[in-house]
Structure 1
Amino acid sequence: MEPKKNPQLDLRRNSLLYFFVGMTLVLLMTYLALEWKTYYQDDSWDVGELKVDDQLIEDATILKIKLPEPPKPKIQTPPKIEIKDDEDDIIETFIEPNDVDQDTKVAQVEDVAVAEDDIPEEIPFILIENAPIFPGCENEKDEKTKRECFQEQMLKHIRKNFRYPEVAQEMGLEGRVSVIFTVQTDGSIGNIRLRGPHESLESEAARIISKLPRLTPGKQRGTAVKVPYSIPITFKLN
């Protein structure tokens, strides 16, 4: 015969109820734990209630600073007014009018002084009215062709008299020498200025320019003037 269980002692009878009750308690405890707030005890103290020993209280030192007295204003002495006696009557000088009228005499032409033309002593080659003329260019028809002929003859003169310095060849010197010279009022060459990479090249350029023939001087308004001219001479080894 099988034993029968007492339905009053069956533990699973109210298990679902116990489960919900337990879950509710757990949720309640979790909520309380999350919402629980704590406050720190206020340890601050009131400074106004602090009692300080009288011996620790020091009197503030009072400094008395004597400021300098402001400068006294300068009183300017009023100018002394002197009353002079009346002067004698002054005779005024009569100024005659110089207006031109029918009685005015006309000056003679010979008596009129003519101012001389203010022509500069030196005028650049590109600005002068009549540029210097190289020998052989006198028969050119106009000023433009004379200038072109001058430059062509200068190049021919340089190629004809060009000689490479031996010292420069041995040293392998090359470069350009800038030459500036002035055609004087008598057609001679003067005031030669040179700038190049070496003295030997500058000396050769000066020698070439010194062999220039006498030129026809440049003229400004018919007056001979000094004319500076510049030209480069290039030294290049083959």
Structure 2
Amino acid sequence: MELRKNPKIDLERKRNAFFNIGLATSLMLVISAFEWRFYGDGGLVNLGEIDDDFEEIMEIPQTLQPPPPPPVVVLPKIVEVPDEEEIEEDVKSIIDVEINEDDTFEDPIFDEPLPPEIVEEVLIFVESMPEPIGGMSTFYKHVAKQMKYPNQARRMGIEGKVYVQFVIDKNGKLTEVQAIKGIGAGCDEEAVRVIKNAPDWSPGKQRGQPVKVRMILPVTFKLG
């Protein structure tokens, strides 16, 4: 048996109307709640009748201080000095030299300027580079024989290379020896000492003439 709804009592048809009525009612209630003013049982409060117990604050007048007196300006006294003033001095001549026409005078001698100091140029690359006498192998053998491993570096286990820079002069002497990159712990100083005490080299030559040449060599420190 099929159930049928009575169209007269079908509330689904009026759902939109009920929704709009409820929405309007809610909106009116919200507006009324915001517009409602509550003053309590006593009504309006007259703020003019409140008795205050605040202490009267006395206004302290501002003390007027007179301005300091202006500084006294002392003008310098200008004394007029006459432009032409005769100064009487008793000047006596102390020159008592007789000069004859036959007398001759020598021209003054001035010190001659010193010649400019010639600074020899230190080269890096030349036609014939300097070499140790006996070759590089002999030089490194001398370095290994003379070098003493520093105790501090040995205790700390420090190993590495110390790069030593030096200049070979025209006579083959090793000069201006210095460590430019080291490992510390006494190794730098030991490498410089050994290079300074190294034997002479064959000097470098440029166009057949001996010249100064700057070189850099590594000195290796390695624990055995």
Secondary structure in 2 matching 1:148: coil
Quick one: which of 38, 46, 53 aligns to 1:43? Answer: 38
CA deviation digits over 1:34-80, x for unaligned, max 9?
Answer: 21212133115867x32343442543331334254433332322221
Aligned to 1:159: 137
How many residues of Structure 1 are paired with residues of Structure 2 in the alignment? 168
Quick one: which of 170, 177, 180 aligns to 1:193? Answer: 177
Quick one: which of 53, 56, 61 aligns to 1:56? Answer: 53
Distance 1:35 1:81, change over 3 A: same
Shift of 1:183: 3.6
Tell me if structure 2 keeps the 8 A contact 1:183–1:215: yes
Alignment of 1:69-108 (within 5 A): 69-88=66-85
Distance 1:190 1:66, change over 3 A: farther
Tell me if structure 2 keeps the 8 A contact 1:175–1:236: yes
Aligned to 1:231: 216
Residues 1:33 and 2:18 aligned together: no
Aligned to 1:207: 197
Q: CA RMSD in A?
A: 4.7
C-alpha separation in 2, matches of 1:192 and 1:175: 19
Quick one: which of 151, 154, 163 aligns to 1:177? Answer: 163
Q: Which runs of 5+ in 2 are unaligned?
A: 1-5, 88-107
C-alpha separation in 2, matches of 1:229 and 1:24: 110
Look at both structures and tell me which one has the larger radius of gyration over its CA atoms: 1
Shift of 1:200: 4.0
Residues 1:148 and 2:145 aligned together: no
Name the structure with the higher strand share.
Answer: 2
Shift of 1:205: 1.9
Distance 1:181 1:26, change over 3 A: closer
C-alpha separation in 1, matches of 2:202 and 2:16: 127
